[in-house]
Structure 1
Amino acid sequence: MGVPAFFRWLSRKYPSVIVPCVEQKPVDINGVRVPVNSAEPNPNGVEFDNLYLDMNGIIHPCTHPEDRPAPRNEDEMMIAIFDCIDRLFRIVRPRKLLYMAIDGVAPRAKMNQQRSRRFRASKETQEKIQEIKRIRAELILKGCQLPPEKPKEEHFDSNCITPGTPFMARLSECLHYYVHERLNNDPGWKGIKVILSDANVPGEGEHKIMDYIRRQRSQPDHDPNTQHCLCGADADLIMLGLATHEPNFTIIREEFKPNQPKPCEICGQLGHEMKDCIGGSRSEHEKPADLPISAETDFIFVRLNVLKEYLEKELFMPNLPFKYEFERALDDWVFMCFFVGNDFLPHLPSLEIREGAIDRLIRLYKDCVYKTGGYLTNSGDVNLERVQMIMLELGKVEDEIFKNRQQRELQFKARDKAKKRRDAYNEHRPNMTFLRGTQFEPQVTIFHTTTELQNI
């Protein structure tokens, strides 16, 4: 389940939550590639015990990446997945556990929302193939040199990344081989426990990880100071990590960089879009110096213990008729965030994070707690009467929210229309430059006194 714009809102409001990862990379010495010894102390200054990988967040970018050419075959896809796991292991360096979870059969509520997405993705893939064929035919008629066209069966359909497909069965076999090879040959993997939960185990990857953490918390020998690190790009992992109430929980994810260049679907080069492709080599499109440099994406840590400190001040309510418990208020905050975006609940159109929806919910929540004298949730059970009170108060301001949204849209369209009008005028207006030092330069006279004005 994803929460649109949540991570951007979080990083802007609570900037200290985000810290960059320190990564040691392999080096080449006299033509020999020397790998990093992950058994050495962690350069980030934290020794993590457990690393949890939400594998679908790794499988999708490795099989059909957006910022680089796609792998040519399935073997390259598997190698890319292995390299990504190696890189994450090298950064985090867990000492006790590595848990790899692949999405199994999803709950029915999510299946209903997945169906429309997958039909749309399949339709867009077929439309893209037809568009590529059309543009290739036009370029060939113009005499352009193009790389050979991929056969239809080589176009990767991302819908096969789902339980029960032959691709997922082959991926599971490859991951079994990968784990055995690393346990036998990599010194950083010595002595750690590895769990691979593939697509045959029902449930989403992040939910399987959370179930495992909750079961470990119930064990009598559980160490409350365990350092957990969870890898995943979904913003809802932040809420799930907070809901565990573990004191040391960190999320590692790729740093988001907007407006990254995408390679052309026809020639595979950067610097132009598919509709602007002219075939040939990269130098025929642009000079190499003008092309953006495609660098490896950096990783960042999201420190949930720091976020808890922020939320403790944000959710504090003085002068309550009962004892204030931050962990209960934190559960309520996680519950309210589900109304902003969730794969299991219908989206409320009046709640948009960009419009301050979370801050509005916090204000309504505090009023509700003062009026009713209790929290919304209690160990997973929801008090629906108190939730209804918040929804009724939200309904009273919905008209104002929609009116403000419409005004902003009209203002945006007016500014965009005015900008296009100015651009069109500037493009067609005559050149009105003046020559300095000639009779065509406008003369400017400055008067200093009233007498000079009267003498004109």
Structure 2
Amino acid sequence: MGIERFFASIYKNYDIVFDMNYPYKRIPATHIYFDFNSIVHIISKKVINKGNTQNLNKRIIDSVLEYILNFLSKNLLPLQVKYILLALDGVPSMAKMIEQQHRRYMGELISIMLDSIGDKDNISWSKNNISPGTQFMHSLSQELKSPEFKLRIKKICSQSTKIVVSDIYEFNEGEKKIVDKIQKTNFNNDDKILIFSPDADMILLALLLPMELNINIYRHNQQKSDIYDFYNLININLLSKTIYEKIKQNLKTFKRDINIKNILQDLVFIFTIFGDDFLPKIDTFDVRKDIDIILEIYSLTLGVMSQNYLLKFNGQKYEIVSNFLKRLLYFMKTIEKKVKIINKKMAKYHNYSSFVQKSFIRNVHQFEIDVKKIKKHELIKKILTPDSNDDKYSFFIENLMFRIDKISLYSFLKELKLPAILKYKQFFIYFIPLEELIDYLIDYTLKFKKFPIQITTKFNNKSNEKLLKYSKNSSSKYHQNKMKNLNKIEKKKYILLNTLDHYHEKFNKDSFIEKSAKAVDNYFEGIQWILNYYYNDETKELTWIYKYDYSPSIADLYKFINEKDVDFRFKKIDNMKNYFTVLEQLIFITPFSAQHIRKNSKDLEKYFYLFKGLLNKDQMKKISRFITSHTMENHFFDLNILSNKILNDKSNKEINCHDIIFLNKCNLNKLSYLKFESLDFVKEFRKYFSLEDQLNIYPMIY
């Protein structure tokens, strides 16, 4: 699901995340669920950082096993553990595979570019190993299932502890396997569930599980981990109640009864749409910084719609309530323009958020002074047309609606019984002209001798903080400060990864993207597909993908749903043997080069290191013939040639980083052309390497 911003937002805005550092407080748990691929990423990085390149596969696998045993003995009360699930990622949906493909191609391209400036990685172990179908993951699956490892676990926990391994040969991602297993388990009242996962999307999925379950998420915090691992503990019931109380508080003026289960189902769906692996996030609203705005818009829609929720269960499956979605998008569209103004400025300055908060408080302080000595119409004019040489109200207007204490202002004005106030309660401020809003704020401030503000930060007139403008030039003061302790190669790396100087143009940072009207239709397909996949357990609707590198605007989505009924049908895989195997998935997502294979056909074992020890030479030749075939050679383009074009040609259309901050998130245009919905890739591959031959090597579970 890929919604890391959700965790960042709850960590920042709500006091419900508990830090767990060494020595760890032991957590009582009866059922432990490991989202296992995350552990492999954590441990492989540690082993590689030690610098010893000998026998890396075995050393990483041994370290992974030790990590599990240490976690059980040091972080938990092991004798209470009754059940353990080790859930490895299997073959996912095509939508997920497209995301994996993009990540691997961009990772390889960046590695090639860094190599070209002298930043060569001396460790020859690729994270591509952490994929179903590789020798490494095959060996790891075998070790986890071995009687010896299970015996080591039972020595720490109990002989009666049940240990289940869902390995790479079972379909679906680890997080989906965990949720499905929990939903199918009958728990006792005193059972305690612990899910080990660093992914924020696991938090969202856990919110959909039955409320009566006692669930904690144990999250490895990569940023804070140093000598010892650092973790966060999130109690799902506490998070659920916190979100519910927030919505309940927002709806106090509407006097509407709400159901916590419906609220959580709706909000998980909304947050998923705003940051999923399967859909590009909608640019306007960022869950990390806009979580309160999103909650307000949802609350407003609940209040106005009176009885409906966004999702409803019709007795067989969940459906989207069209009228609710229309109203939700209408409100978002209304606010979208105001949020875009702020987003544009945030994109220009490194410290916009912190600077604006302090500046806004200064603006408020000035407002409280001016209301006493300036006539109302003159003050309104001064605020709406601030002097460019006078910053007293420079950040007042654009941040006003998001920082006002709406309840206090509503309580003051509700007796006026204005149409907007009667209909939208405290959220009326989003639907009236700015001039009118400032008029009301003047009246409020004169009566109560203070401005209705949410922020509790103290006023500091002596603050000398200045806006730090994003610069595309490495010579800027900001970037020079960042690079002051870097060596020559590290500086080159910093300039490349931050797309500075000539890279800004080479990566097409300022290029214009012409958006297709078909993207809106495809986006709504994605919304429906996500509902089916996560809520209706339609896990055989596997071939849908989003075909574009950008998202539509809220306005486009609102226009579409007003003109067309949203009702999509998806192709199901009736026989999973017609879908990707682990080998086919690995070939699909890995940046192999047809040109390289043609030139180095005698050195296949070295090139196909991911399969070494699992496939023989003849089997590797079958794969090479497939990759170099006339049908597939365009799919397997050479990233070295692509890198050379991007870095050395005067202009190129190979990569697009428009409105993208991080280089690894940029879009390769050649990958965009490769997106398809059918299983033609699978059919073509099996002309060279039959399913029967694959199953003799890879024991897929059907």
Same fold per superposition (TM over 0.5): yes
Q: Distance in 2 between matches of 1:312 and 1:96?
A: 32
Identify the structure with the greater helix proportion. Answer: 2
In the superposition, relative to structure 1, how do residues 212 and 70 fare at CA in structure 2: closer, same or farther (>3 Å)?
farther
User: How far does the alpha carbon of each residue in 1:135-191 deviate from its partner, in whole angstroms, 9 at most, with x for none?
Assistant: 68xxxxxxxxxxxx96xxx6112123222222211111122235334156x242421
Compute the displacement of 1:111 (Å): 1.6
Compute the displacement of 1:318 (Å): 4.1
Q: Distance in 2 between matches of 1:347 and 1:135?
A: 32
Instruction: Please provide the CA RMSD for this pair.
Output: 3.1
Query: Does residue 245 in structure 1 map to residue 218 in structure 2?
Result: no
Query: Does residue 315 in structure 1 map to residue 301 in structure 2?
Result: no
2:274 to 340, 343, 363: 340
Q: Give the aligned partner of residue 2 of structure 1.
A: 2
User: How far does the alpha carbon of each residue in 1:89-125 deviate from its partner, in whole angstroms, 9 at most, with x for none?
Assistant: 1212352101000001111221222211111122233
Secondary structure of the residue that 2:273 maps to in structure 1? coil
Q: Residues 4-403 of structure 1: matches in 2 within 5 Å? A: 4-20=4-20, 23=23, 44=26, 46-65=27-46, 68-69=49-50, 72=53, 73-90=56-73, 91-92=75-76, 93=78, 95-129=81-115, 131=117, 134=118, 155-177=124-146, 179-183=149-153, 186-217=155-186, 222-246=187-211, 247-257=213-223, 294-316=226-248, 317-318=251-252, 323-356=257-290, 358-372=291-305, 373-379=307-313, 380-403=318-341
1:420 to 463, 473, 477: 477
TM-score after normalising by structure 1:
0.69
Q: Distance in 1 between matches of 2:57 and 2:48?
A: 19
Secondary structure of the residue that 1:415 maps to in structure 2? coil
Letter in 1 for 2:246: E
Secondary structure of the residue that 1:230 maps to in structure 2? strand
Q: Give the aligned partner of residue 289 of structure 1.
A: none
Letter in 2 for 1:254: H
Q: Distance in 2 between matches of 1:349 and 1:328?
A: 27
Contact 1:58 1:81 in 2 (8 A): yes
Secondary structure of the residue that 1:343 maps to in structure 2? coil
Secondary structure of the residue that 1:253 maps to in structure 2? strand
Compute the displacement of 1:393 (Å): 1.8
In the superposition, relative to structure 1, how do residues 382 and 88 fare at CA in structure 2: closer, same or farther (>3 Å)?
farther
Q: Distance in 2 between matches of 1:329 and 1:70?
A: 49
Compute the displacement of 1:68 (Å): 3.3
Compute the displacement of 1:88 (Å): 2.1
In the superposition, relative to structure 1, how do residues 321 and 398 fare at CA in structure 2: closer, same or farther (>3 Å)?
closer
Q: Distance in 2 between matches of 1:135 and 1:232?
A: 32
Compute the displacement of 1:22 (Å): 6.6
Letter in 1 for 2:343: R
Q: Distance in 2 between matches of 1:70 and 1:189?
A: 37
Contact 2:47 2:60 in 1 (8 A): no
TM-score after normalising by structure 2:
0.46
In the superposition, relative to structure 1, how do residues 335 and 70 fare at CA in structure 2: closer, same or farther (>3 Å)?
farther
Q: Distance in 2 between matches of 1:56 and 1:123?
A: 23
Q: Distance in 1 between matches of 2:51 and 2:312?
A: 47
Q: Distance in 2 between matches of 1:192 and 1:70?
A: 37
In the superposition, relative to structure 1, how do residues 188 and 338 fare at CA in structure 2: closer, same or farther (>3 Å)?
same
In the superposition, relative to structure 1, how do residues 345 and 420 fare at CA in structure 2: closer, same or farther (>3 Å)?
closer
Compute the displacement of 1:128 (Å): 4.3
- Percent of pairs with identical residues: 21
Q: Distance in 2 between matches of 1:163 and 1:67?
A: 21
Q: Give the aligned partner of residue 450 of structure 1.
A: none
Compute the displacement of 1:319 (Å): 7.1
Secondary structure of the residue that 2:131 maps to in structure 1? coil
Compute the displacement of 1:71 (Å): 5.7
Q: Aligned pairs, how many?
A: 349
In the superposition, relative to structure 1, how do residues 195 and 366 fare at CA in structure 2: closer, same or farther (>3 Å)?
same
Q: Distance in 1 between matches of 2:259 and 2:125?
A: 51
In the superposition, relative to structure 1, how do residues 22 and 302 fare at CA in structure 2: closer, same or farther (>3 Å)?
farther
Contact 1:11 1:18 in 2 (8 A): no
Secondary structure of the residue that 1:172 maps to in structure 2? helix
Contact 2:90 2:168 in 1 (8 A): yes
Compute the displacement of 1:321 (Å): 7.6
Q: Distance in 1 between matches of 2:168 and 2:196?
A: 18
Q: Distance in 2 between matches of 1:9 and 1:295?
A: 26
> Which consecutive residues of structure 1, in runs of 5 or more, have no partner in the other structure?
25-42, 137-148, 261-293, 428-456
User: How far does the alpha carbon of each residue in 1:38-81 deviate from its partner, in whole angstroms, 9 at most, with x for none?
Assistant: xxxxx53x521100000111111222349933562111111221
In the superposition, relative to structure 1, how do residues 383 and 135 fare at CA in structure 2: closer, same or farther (>3 Å)?
closer
Q: Distance in 2 between matches of 1:103 and 1:70?
A: 27
Secondary structure of the residue that 2:300 maps to in structure 1? helix
User: How far does the alpha carbon of each residue in 1:330-368 deviate from its partner, in whole angstroms, 9 at most, with x for none?
Assistant: 211211111221112331111113432x21121111221
Compute the displacement of 1:397 (Å): 2.3
Contact 2:69 2:153 in 1 (8 A): no
